[in-house]
Homo-oligomer: A and B are copies of this chain.
Amino acid sequence: MTVHETAIGIDPQGGRPVIPSRGDRRPLGLGEVSLLDGFWARLQAINCAATFEHCERWMERLGWLANFDRVADGATGPDRPGWSFSDSEVYKLIEAMSWEYARTGDRALDDGVRRLTARVGRAQDPDGYLNTYYGHAGQDPRYSDLEMGHELYCVGHLLQAAVARLRTAGADELVQIARRAADHVCEIFGAEGNQGLCGHPEIEVGLAELGRALEEERYLAQARLFLDRRGHGALQETPLGRAYFQDDVPIRDAETWRGHAVRALYLTAAAVDVAVEQGDDELLAAIERQWENAVARRTYITGGMGSRHQDEGFGDDWELPPDRAYSETCAGIASVMVAWRLYLATGRVRYADLIERTLFNVIAVSPRADGRAFFYANPLHQRTAGGAPDDDAVSPRAESGARAAWFDVSCCPTNVARTLATWQAYACTVGERDLTLLQYAGMSIDAELGDGRAIRVDLETAYPQDGVVTVRVVHAPAGAVALRLRVPSWADGAVLEEGGRLGRVEPGLAVVDRQLTSGEEIRLRLPIQPRFTWPDRRVDAVRGCVAVERGPLVMCVESVDLPEGIELDDVQIDADAPLTVRDQAVLARGLVAPQIATGSGWPYAAGGRPREGAGSAVELILRPYHQWAERGPSAMRVWLPDATASRR
């Protein structure tokens, strides 16, 4: 180990998951943004206080951690517990704890990282191969099932964990393990080597970032090799088809995302990294095109992606069923990874819009209030409340009537953990002479502009419960600065107060470009009165329905909020009546259609469109979607039949 290797990589800004070498925007690091209070601070606190311990305990209980010990002790066999990708959960937990330690300095977290790292490291083979499912006594050989084996996928998560550690604590043992693993991958799968690739992308994004962090060009080159190999049928076809793992079309030729959503999005994140590092504008344009098409036609109002349970995949354009929405939590996380990289690469604010939507309406939905149970799939319509969950059981399926403590396939809890731990890293960027505020929360920003000037601002806000964001300039640099505030796409009628003036600002970026004064306050007023939102008519599954949103929050009706005896199936919403706010709930006028007697016993009738009675009025209570099922199992709807459809 050279001195260079030990010194390299510590991030003076406190660590960030993504640091492009090129581009006009620098993401602020965890050391530059302090989250003070509010929505995300609360989730982050629970994440650290409960979720980390919860994940480690489950992985110990199920033997996923002991799998590393068994390899180290030469005690492997065919009866290994857990799926072939369970190693990756350990790596995601290490990553989460590493970021959290960087922000909080809590020694227990550092101890945890070291403890887990030691167990992982003992399992690494002398040549750098590291996997507890393959390649040892009683196991299938290495790389014998690239399609579904997840070996390189696991390494990818190891590398992301190592990036977290490297940038926050330096090149410790975890980084050395990761380097050996990455070197091994480059040796085996290099240009002259095995021409295969992993059925689940992730190695690419791991190699790209570790390459940036360690300034190892060949890691980036290997990521590029994997990207270029894909789409030419390198993988054996499975019953789910080649599109399942994006081996159907080369990435630069694809028009939209398809197949398994998490696979598609992890791959895309890596493609942005490689495109940026190598100045490959054609590849970047292809990704932007795919994003545009998928967001316009294959994305839920929540930001969720993935319409099918069968292959956890994107469906066709406009195939967006609310009840069978898969909208996997991990796909939401992966979508944020992609959008963040695209924002950094292009500066287009709509990527940050989708990040906000997804953070509030996919990622925040997953963890239960106590941080010890999670949604895996995130449907927009739950037909039946179902039974109460058993927190002591492993959920075999990603069904979502209630959050589950742990899953047979348990990718989401650790993914939520590492994402919440890095919320600050997606909040702001600086450019040569600008500070851009993309996400709002009570926080303090102490950053250095591209031109070297220091700036410090504090944000005060109760967002998203309130739309007022006050930016107090604590330290104004000398000379003009462009303070840029994202005005979300939904914020029609936003107002900016600054320098004694009050002016309407359009969605996009509200810019104050002048000499700032220490102590002055700039205030953005976002209109968070609730609003009705209608779907494009081609979203067949919610035709005739309307949703309610409030600020960045998608709202929903839960059966537990309906008066006794009223079924969710019988409720319509009056979109001509006003929406009001009481506490944090939105109140709407509902109409309860009379119960339909089963009648003929056949649910299709000729002789004219069935006329319904006027229906009795009922006050509908809509709560933020991210809170649903926190009061026990419940039936739920985001999209509500629009009682006014026939009036228009």
Contact = CB atoms under 8 A, between A and B. Distances in A.
A318 B569 contact: yes
A641 B318 CA distance: 14
Nearest to A381: B540
B543 A606 contact: no
Interface residues of A, number: 74
Given A316-B383, A646-B645, A324 B323 contact: no
A610 B546 CA distance: 11
Contacts of A73: none
Contacts of A539: 603
A292 interface: yes
Contact of A604 (B536, B604, B607, B608): B536
A603 B642 contact: no
Interface stretch (A9-17, A42-50, A221-229, A294-302): A294-302
Given A296-B603, A308-B324, A648 B317 contact: no
A544 interface: yes
Interface string A509-551: 0000000000000000000000111111111110111110100
Contacts of A536: 596, 603-605, 610
A319 interface: yes
B543 A544 contact: yes
A193 B368 CA distance: 47
Residue in A292, A537, A608, A644 whose Cβ sees the most chain B Cβ within 10 Å: A537
A616 interface: no
A382 to B, nearest CB: 9
A575 interface: yes
Nearest to A641: B543
Contacts of A240: 397
B605 A534 contact: yes
Contacts of A318: 383, 569
Contacts of A538: 569, 596, 603
A77 interface: no
Interface string A592-623: 01001010111111111111100000000000
A140 interface: no
A384 interface: yes
A648 B541 contact: no
A604 B541 contact: no
A343 interface: no
A565 interface: no
A189 interface: no
Nearest to A567: B538
A626 to B, nearest CB: 17
A492 B310 CA distance: 41
Interface in A228-282: 237, 239-241
Interface in A480-523: 489-490, 492
Given A323-B319, A324-B324, A601-B295, A596 B544 contact: no
A637 to B, nearest CB: 9
Given A397-B239, A604-B301, A645-B609, A383 B545 contact: no
Contacts of A322: 540
Contacts of A308: 309, 324
Contacts of A489: 600, 602
Residue in A240, A408, A544, A600 whose Cβ sees the most chain B Cβ within 10 Å: A544
Given A239-B397, A324-B324, A609 B646 contact: no
Contacts of A603: 296-297, 299, 535-536, 538-539
A598 B297 CA distance: 9
A596 B575 CA distance: 23
B604 A533 contact: yes
Contacts of A546: 609
A321 interface: yes
26 contacts: A239-B396, A239-B408, A240-B397, A241-B396, A292-B598, A295-B601, A296-B601, A296-B602, A301-B604, A309-B309, A315-B323, A319-B383, A350-B601, A531-B607, A532-B606, A532-B608, A534-B605, A534-B606, A534-B608, A537-B593, A537-B610, A538-B569, A539-B603, A546-B609, A609-B644, A645-B645
